[in-house]
Amino acid sequence: MARCLHMYKSGFQCIDDSIEPTGFCEAHQNILEFEKLQESPWRKVFFRVVALVLLILFLIPFVWTLKGLYMEPPAKAQEVW
């Protein structure tokens, strides 16, 4: 039989025999129920507001760069005028 796959913090591996489907011994085989977070409309609103703020923060420099490149005449042309 194979050894248990559990590794201790010290780096040593458990010396017990493993159960075939999981690879862990009976002592280290923990099946925990996954607790799903409750759906909250406020959480969705919060994440959407944060996403919108980040999108605006990243788009402002992009718009200013495009405006500076394509909407205004070059600096030398401004000096001559």
For residue 8, pLDDT beyond 80: yes
Q: SS3 for 28?
A: coil
Q: Is the dihedral of CA 67, 70, 73, 76 positive or negative?
A: positive
- Name the amino acid, one letter, at 81: W
Using one digit for the tens of pLDDT, what is the confidence trace for 19-49? 877 788 888 777 666 777 778 889 899 999 9
| Average pLDDT score over the chain | 82
User: For residues 35 and 50, is the Cβ–Cβ distance under 8 A?
Assistant: no
Other beta carbons within 10 angstroms of residue 4's beta carbon come to: 21
Integer-rounded Cα Rg, in Å, for the chain is 30
Residue with tokens 């005449």: 73
